[in-house]
Amino acid sequence: FLTLGTTKAQPFKESKEEKEKRMQWFQDAKLGIFIHWGIYSVRGVTESWSFYNNYLSYDEYMSQLDGFTAKSYNPAEWAKLIKESGAKYTVITSKHHDGVALWDTQASDLNTIKKTPASRDLLTPFTKAVRKEGLKLGIYYSLLDWSNTDYPYATRNSTRYQIKEDSARWQRFLDFDNRQLAELNKQFKPDLYWFDGDWDFSPETWKAKELSTMLRTFNPKVILNSRIQGYGDYATPEQGVPIRRPDSQWWELCMTMNDSWGYAPTDTNYKTANMLLRTFVDCISNGGNLLLDIGPKEDGTIPQEQVDILKEFGRWTKKHADAIYGTRAGIPEGHVMGYTTLNKNQDILYVFLPYKPNGPISVKGLKNKVNRAWVVGNGALLETKVVGKAYWSSVPGILYFDVPESVQDSQITVVA
């Protein structure tokens, strides 16, 4: 279990500084695009869960294999659109809980090459396009597999068993995961692994320590999300921004645009670009990233609603790039009505205004001198007024500034 090809796992030790260096691109990236693409897009049903929850039988669910064509799939266009949104990385489902692999896995026949009319490896061309666009590559991999009958809670037939009573069978399952991960490592050497489906078992049962060590031995720079029973690098909240700033130095919120991860034509409950931008700004003001999800159709086209949101993200992130990329969490709440980030030197405060100002904005608690204030992405200097003995007294001052309507953004205006 501890080898990946010819690579032997080495104990993984790293100083705080080394980890900070390894995590740097992730911390600076702020926006990633998540992709849930699989046979569930044929009927537009919930990925994997629709058979687990008996909405469809396993056979009905799997009959979607016959309808998965990928006939209009253009990975170069996907990568271009992702880049255009302002994202710096992307994470794609190489295999969801249903066990259907998008790449040419030798560990099972259940893949898009052997079992669908797409009849090809869909992952490889995407990984190439992603790298060509200069984006970082993340691979989602479900540790559990509801099609593999060696998994103790497999749903395709009644195969439940106790691991304690049949540890050889469990080991066979771990070997299977391990073989697939070895393939992914070898073929794609991803920048990030996004694990999922670890919830049934403890770290010991998953051999999570050994697994993470092995992945890091093969690829010492790789970043792992936390869903590998605590042996990952960063926290992975889902669908909602933590109310309080997380303790973790690195975290990423994953979120859907409507209520579905995969393509679901009946789910029209889309959030607006403005809502999602507010959530994005909320994340970065608390030092985290947003991993925003899209769910392409079975033919490989991306629903128009999702394209529109990505394009509006692109317009807004491009204009406000200085206030987003490479920044750090902002000042604590209570100083200003709005979200904030700070540049790395901690001498520029970016204030995001998720409302249309109709009077002066105030930033209170200032001790240092303010040299100037300007509108990000526009450059217009703003008149400021400081009251209170801001620079030399222990009494913090208040800074006021007006943001004229002519320099306001249609979504969220940002002042530096």
Residues in touch with ligand FHN (CB under 6 A): 47, 196, 238, 254, 261
Smaller CB separation from ligand FHN, 47 or 183? 47
SS3 47: coil
SS3 2: coil
Smaller CB separation from ligand FHN, 109 or 238? 238
Minimum CB separation of residue 366 from ligand FHN in Å reads: 40
Minimum CB separation of residue 154 from ligand FHN in Å reads: 16
Minimum CB separation of residue 7 from ligand FHN in Å reads: 29
Q: Give residue for tokens 């670009």.
A: 273
Smaller CB separation from ligand FHN, 93 or 341? 93
Q: How many CB atoms lie within 10 A of CB 21?
A: 12
Minimum CB separation of residue 10 from ligand FHN in Å reads: 30
Smaller CB separation from ligand FHN, 258 or 384? 258
- Among the listed residues 223, 354, 341, the one whose alpha carbon sits nearest the alpha carbon of residue 288: 341
Minimum CB separation of residue 273 from ligand FHN in Å reads: 21
Minimum CB separation of residue 233 from ligand FHN in Å reads: 16
Smaller CB separation from ligand FHN, 264 or 342? 264
- Among the listed residues 61, 33, 65, 67, the one whose alpha carbon sits nearest the alpha carbon of residue 46: 61
Q: Which residues of 63-74 are buried (b: 16+ CB within 10 A; e: fewer)?
A: ebbeebbbeebe
Smaller CB separation from ligand FHN, 110 or 336? 110
Tell me the C-alpha to C-alpha distance, in Å, between residue 95 and each of 18, 82, 159, 255, 356: 31, 20, 21, 19, 44
Minimum CB separation of residue 85 from ligand FHN in Å reads: 19
Q: How many CB atoms lie within 10 A of CB 49?
A: 17
Smaller CB separation from ligand FHN, 196 or 409? 196
Minimum CB separation of residue 21 from ligand FHN in Å reads: 27
Minimum CB separation of residue 35 from ligand FHN in Å reads: 11
Q: What is the distance between the alpha carbons of residues 342 and 285, in angstroms, rounded to a whole number?
A: 8
Q: What is the distance between the alpha carbons of residues 255 and 171, in angstroms, rounded to a whole number?
A: 34
Helices (H), 189-303: 203-206, 208-218, 273-285
- Among the listed residues 204, 217, 284, the one whose alpha carbon sits nearest the alpha carbon of residue 251: 284
Minimum CB separation of residue 23 from ligand FHN in Å reads: 20
Length of the chain equals 416
Smaller CB separation from ligand FHN, 191 or 252? 252
Q: What are phi and psi of 224, to 5 degrees?
A: -115, 135
Q: What is the distance between the alpha carbons of residues 294 and 255, in angstroms, rounded to a whole number?
A: 9
Minimum CB separation of residue 125 from ligand FHN in Å reads: 22
The CA-based dihedral angle spanning residues 196, 199, 203, 205, taken in that order and rounded to the nearest 10 degrees: -110
Instruction: Say how many CA atoms lie within 13 Å of 103 toward its Cβ.
Output: 24
Smaller CB separation from ligand FHN, 54 or 345? 54
Smaller CB separation from ligand FHN, 236 or 343? 236
Smaller CB separation from ligand FHN, 110 or 143? 143
> Which residues, at least 6 apart from 38, have a Cβ–Cβ distance to it below 8 Å?
47, 48, 68, 93, 96, 98, 100, 102, 262
Q: What is the distance between the alpha carbons of residues 86 and 273, in angstroms, rounded to a whole number?
A: 14
Which DSSP letter does residue 146 get?
Answer: T
